[in-house]
Amino acid sequence: MSMHILVEHVLQTAKENSLWNPHDTIIVAVSGGPDSVALLHVMHEISYKHTPLNLICAHIHHGLRIESDDEAVMVQRMAEGLGIPFVMEAIDVPAYMKESGKGVEEAARVKRYEFLMRTATEYGSRSIALAHHADDQAETVLLHLLRGSGPSGLVGMKLKRTIKNMELIRPLLRIYKTDLMEVCETENFQYVIDQSNLETKHRRNAIRLDILPYLGQYNGQITQSLNQLSNVMTAEDEYVELAAEEKFLELVQRSDGRFTFGVPSFLGLHVALQRRLIKLILNYMSVDSEIIDYNKVESLREAITSSLTTTWSRDLGGGYVCIREYDVVTLQPKSKSHMQRLSYTYQVSTAVSEHMVSEIGKVLKVSIESRTEMSWSKMEVGQYEAMFDADQIVFPLTVRCRQDGDTIKVMGLNGSKKVKNIFIDDKIPPSLRTQIPMILDGNNVIIWIPGIRRSIHAPIHQQTTSVLHLSLEDT
- Residue numbering of the annotated binding site for ATP: 31-36
From CA 177, how far away is CA 252, in angstroms rounded? 45
Cα torsion at 179, 180, 186, 187 (round to 10°)? 150
Nearest to 282 by CA among 325, 237, 252, 313: 252
Residues 420-423: contacts with CB within 8 Å, 24+ apart? Answer: 422/449, 422/452, 422/453, 423/452
- Measured CA to CA, the distance from residue 15 to residue 23 in angstroms comes to 15
Strand duo 253-255 + 453-454: pairing: unpaired
What is the number of alpha carbons within 13 Å of residue 62 lying toward its C-beta? Answer: 23
CA–CA gap between residue 467 and residue 85 (Å, rounded) = 86
Binding site per annotation, positions: 31-36
DSSP string spanning 316-368?
EETTEEEEEETTEEEEEEGGG---SPP--EEEE-TTSSEEEEGGGTEEEEEEE
Exposed/middle/buried for 307, CB within 10 Å: 0-12, 13-18, 19+? exposed
Determine contact, residues 230/295, Cβ cutoff 8 Å. no
**Whose CA is closest to 151, among 59, 249, 239, 50?**
239
Phi and psi at residue 446, to the nearest 5°: -70, 120
Contact indicator for 249, 277 with CB cutoff of 8 Å: no
What one-character-per-residue DSSP string does 208-261 give?
A: IIIIHHHHHTT-TTHHHHHHHHHHHHHHHHHHHHHHHHHHHHHH-EEETTEEEE
Write the DSSP assignment of 309-329 as a string of letters.
--EEEEEEETTEEEEEETTEE
Largest CA distance in the chain: 109
**How far, in Å, CA of 55 to CA of 404, rounded?**
68
User: Who contacts 297 (Cβ-Cβ below 8 Å, separation ≥6)?
Assistant: 275, 278, 279, 282
